[in-house]
Amino acid sequence: FYQDLPYTGFLKRAFFILLFSCVLCLYRIAKGPTAADRAVTLDMLGVLIVGFCVITGISTGRSWYIDIAIAWALQSFIATLALAKFLEGKSLDD
């Protein structure tokens, strides 16, 4: 992290909140009672990864982390659509 940024403390707190949220998501994936619960948790984990990329990009000053976050969000959206179709019992060709 940059030490001279005025919001470094905020970024560190946000990083640890995201880390704690990831631990909770991993627990929910392991203990989720249904496949739909696990699918929603995987989608939430994708959102948290996007948050990690954005925080890392801001704190390091490298814009390519933001590009990774955008690509990950798009991939996560497409994966969520495919998983929702699979859980409905339809094939991906329909």
The tens digit of pLDDT for each residue in 33-78 reads 888 888 899 999 999 999 999 999 988 889 999 999 999 999 999 9
Rg for the chain (alpha carbons), in Å?
16
| 91 or 86: which leads in pLDDT | 86
Give a yes or no: residue 92 inside a domain: no
Where in the sequence is the domain holding 38, given as residue range(s)? Answer: 8-85
Residue 1 confidence (pLDDT) above 80: no
Q: Which residues contact 27 (CB under 8 A, 6 or more apart)?
A: none
User: What is the Cα–Cα distance from 4 to 72, expressed in whole angstroms?
Assistant: 29
d(CA 49, CA 69): 8
pLDDT in the model for residue 35: 83
**Residue 92, pLDDT score:** 64
Asked if residue 29 is part of any domain, the answer here is yes
Q: How far is CA 66 from CA 55, 73, 74, in A?
A: 9, 10, 12
| Per-residue pLDDT, 76 | 92
Give the total number of structural domains in the chain: 1
Q: Is residue 81 part of a domain?
A: yes
Helix axis angle, 35-60 to 8-31, nearest 10°: 160
Q: Determine the 3-state secondary structure of 1 from DSSP.
A: coil
